[in-house]
Amino acid sequence: MAIQALTSEEVYKALHTSQSGLDEEEASERLKTFGLNEISEAKKASLFRSIAKHFTNLFAILLCGASITALAGEFLKPDEGFLILGIAIMGVVFINGGFAFYQEYKAEKAFSELKRLLPYMVTIIRGGKERDISVSEVVPGDIALLKEGARVPADIRLLDASEIKVDNASLTGESQPVRRDSSIHPDVDLTDSQNIVFAGTSVVQGQGRGVIFATGMSTEFGKVARLTSEVESGMSPLELETIRVTRTITAIAVGLGIIFFCAGIFIGRGFWENFIFALGIVVANVPEGLLPTVTLSLAMASQRMAGKNALVKKLSAVETLGSVTVICTDKTGTLTQNRMSVVNIYIN
């Protein structure tokens, strides 16, 4: 059953539908089995993981280590100021983690709100009557009516077409609208067939009527979306640099601690006195202010970008964007709007 090769009657038969569409009972049954006509997003991290990630990066762990070391110092030799130092460092970790989480959470929420603003309706025929329903509720077997300017809600086999042209730029990048018809195309693949219109594209001219045969992630657009959701983001340059700095600082701090401890032993000071001194050296070498400084400057930069209509979901993306040297991007519909206009006319 290559749907592009079937006649109208065969299409109805294959999808158990008719000119008057599915009845409500059958449509609701199919909605349960095929699921909502939605592109599922890449799995999001849970709230707990989103919070935990700001407390488990290498620098935060280094600061926690320094704090615990200071508290141990307080336990071994009270009233030397280690308690305040330990609490202050731990405070820095919590304030910084909380602030970074809040910034990213706020951006994520704004992004979700934006998406909620964009639901769209589609005209279908059910039980012989035309109805406007949310695009997420269409199912295979529904008869969809397409008119100029409409976005195509799912993969559709056209049964009637009147001078219809669709913009496939979102799928193929092709900026020119392509003509579609309702005749049979037995010798071409589904994706190349002229009697098929795909989810995510839009009708730029004419009108048509067709049967929906694939929805959600089963559509060709869904397959492309799956490709993008499978891309795993690596560490940003800033994160890599922070890890490098943290490792260096840890090595220096611990190294200096050991050197001073050995030097103390060499000049004949007591073990505990030496140990406390070495702890002090280790803690003093940890730059407590670095983490909040980085977070705050990134937050400020993201606020400035928000003022210029750029929503930053991940703080470290600010620096990543700043260190970009080459951008490879799809142009039409991404950077440009796929709309040509006459700016000047030169004659002779």
Partner 1 sequence: MTDHPYKKILVAVDGTFHASVAARYSCQFAQAFHSKLFVVTVISKDMNENMEKSASYSIARIIDEAKGSGVDIEGVILKGDVIGAINKFVGENKIDIVFSSTRRPQKEGRFFVKSVTSELMSGVSCNMIAIKISHPGRSLRSKRVLVPVIGDGHMDRERADIVGALAERFSSSITVFHVNELSASKIKRLEKPEKGLMIEEGEKKISSFMKELSARGMHASEKIVSGSKVRDEIISEASHHKYDLIILGTTKRNILKRVVSGNPVEEILRDTPCDVMLLHFK
Query: 70 is written with which tokens?
Result: 């200071």
Of 10, 29, 38, 130, the one binding partner 1 by CB under 8 A? 29
Torsion, Cα 285 289 290 296, to 10 degrees, reads 170
Q: Please, which of residues 85-114 interact with partner 1 by CB under 8 A?
A: none
Nearer to partner 1, 30 or 126 (CB): 30
Cβ at position 332, least distance to partner 1 in Å? 23
What is the DSSP code (8-state) at residue 190? G
Of 227, 231, 340, 342, the one binding partner 1 by CB under 8 A? 227
Query: How many C-beta atoms lie closer than 10 Å to residue 153's C-beta?
Result: 27
Nearer to partner 1, 214 or 281 (CB): 214
Cα separation, 177 vs 157, whole angstroms = 18
Q: Does the protein bind partner 1 through residue 136 (CB under 8 A)?
A: no
Nearer to partner 1, 198 or 277 (CB): 198
Q: Tell me if residue 330 is catalytic.
A: yes
Half-sphere exposure of 59 (CA within 13 A, CB side): 24
Please name the helix (run of DSSP H) or strand (run of DSSP E) that holds residue 204, with its range, or none.
Answer: strand 202-214
Of 21, 73, 86, 141, the one binding partner 1 by CB under 8 A? 141
Binding segment (CB under 8 A) for partner 1, from list 90-98, 170-178, 212-220, 277-285: 212-220
What is the DSSP code (8-state) at residue 286? S
Q: Does the protein bind partner 1 through residue 166 (CB under 8 A)?
A: no
Nearer to partner 1, 16 or 179 (CB): 16
What is the DSSP code (8-state) at residue 22? B
Which residues lie below 8 Å from residue 331, measured CB to CB, with a gap of 6+? 173
Q: Does the protein bind partner 1 through residue 30 (CB under 8 A)?
A: yes
Residue among 233, 230, 222 nearest 40 (CA) = 222
The catalytic residue among 187, 189, 192, 330 is 330
Please name the helix (run of DSSP H) or strand (run of DSSP E) that holds residue 185, with its range, or none.
Answer: none
| Residues in touch with partner 1 (CB under 8 A) | 1-3, 14-16, 26, 29-30, 32-35, 140-141, 155, 157, 190-191, 213-214, 217-218, 222-223, 226-227, 230
Q: Which residues are known catalytic residues?
A: 330
